[in-house]
Amino acid sequence: MAQKGDLLSVRKDIRVVDATIRDGGLCNDFRFDDKFVKDLYAANVKAGVDYMEFGYKASKEIFDENDFGKWKFCKDEDIRKIVGDNKTDLKIAVMADVGRTDFKNDIIQKKDSPIDLIRIATYINTIPAAIEMIEDAAKKGYETTINIMAVSKARTEDIKAALEAFGQTPVSAFYIVDSYGSIYPEEARRLADMYCEIADKYKKSVGIHAHNNQQLAFANTIEAMTYGASYLDATVDGMGRGAGNCALELLLGFLKNPKYKVDPIVKIIEDHTSKLREQGVKWGYDIPYMLTGQYNTHPRPAIQFVKEERKDYYKFINELYDIINN
């Protein structure tokens, strides 16, 4: 597909999605205090962000509420305490994992909820269950997107088959998800071409959610955007699992639409995320995350390495090699 827009143009189809509470919550078990969440909500409104993702709709049968902060579960009443009736242009999103969400009970009718968008996350092997969740959420009145996780591990023919299946549902957008931070801009462009070709066929949009293992989250995001992606995920200060995500402040500074403002997000970094770092919450580029990105594998071993404050990177290379090849 041809390049869409240029460096000086405004794309009216762009939707910026702040995923700080959800992906950043993986760094501190979702234990954000209400002041941080309220300040972030207000900042996103001022910054012109289109969607704010509050966290997961995780099943309380699977996850113990005592082990996590409330944004692991995103009860409607907890969101309401932050946003009230949300009389703003900012829409509220949550993520629902296939197999880890009691969606029939915990996702209520849209008319009774402050939530606007249900972001459904699936792997290639759980497509039918994801379609059931999309249809359930749409019947309840929500917008929906579908995040196909670990796309760097999936076969092209399987991705195409999945997108064709999702195209026939009420879903609004297909997401490219670089779960392992392993793809490069050329691959982001190729995936955007493939996703957009099928999305255009079914009048859907395309999104991208990038991880920063190889310091390419921002580059991959704007490359995919250039070739048609319009839903763009980012987080304040790049806060997210392991190496983190595309930084919201970088993305807003890049976009030319005058409705987007960087200053409110920089204030959140000054007032909140910098303090979280000082308190020992860890995220961001580091050698072990680079290695899992290059090996195209889950960052779990790297997260443990960083948690233990190890610095024996050379030894970790060999450990990682053994993990992957056993």
pLDDT in tens, 118-146: 999 999 999 999 999 999 999 999 999 99
pLDDT in tens, 36-59: 999 999 999 999 999 999 999 999
Q: What is the pLDDT of residue 325?
A: 83
Q: What is the pLDDT of residue 77?
A: 98
Residue 4 pLDDT level (bands cut at 50, 70, 90): confident
Q: What is the pLDDT of residue 85?
A: 96
pLDDT of residue 7 exceeding 80, the answer is: no
pLDDT in tens, 267-279: 999 999 999 999 9
Q: What percent of the chain has pLDDT over 70?
A: 100
Which residue, among 57, 53, 26, 29, has the nearest Cα to 40 in the 3D structure? Answer: 53
Residue 155 pLDDT level (bands cut at 50, 70, 90): very high
Q: What is the pLDDT of residue 6?
A: 79
Evaluate if pTM is beyond 0.95. Answer: yes
The three-point CA angle 229-234-235 to 5° equals 175
Q: What is the pLDDT of residue 95?
A: 98
Q: What is the pLDDT of residue 5?
A: 78
The maximal CA–CA distance of the chain, rounded, in angstroms, is 55
Residue 2 pLDDT level (bands cut at 50, 70, 90): confident
Q: What is the pLDDT of residue 103?
A: 98
Look over the chain and give the mean of its residue pLDDT values, rounded to a whole number.
97
Q: What is the pLDDT of residue 1?
A: 65
Question: How far is it, in rounded angstroms, from Cα 235 to Cα 238?
Answer: 5
Residue 97 pLDDT level (bands cut at 50, 70, 90): very high
CA distances from 287 to 213, 244, 291, 293, 315 (A): 8, 13, 6, 10, 12
pLDDT of residue 3 exceeding 90, the answer is: no
Q: What is the mean pLDDT of residues 205-213?
A: 98
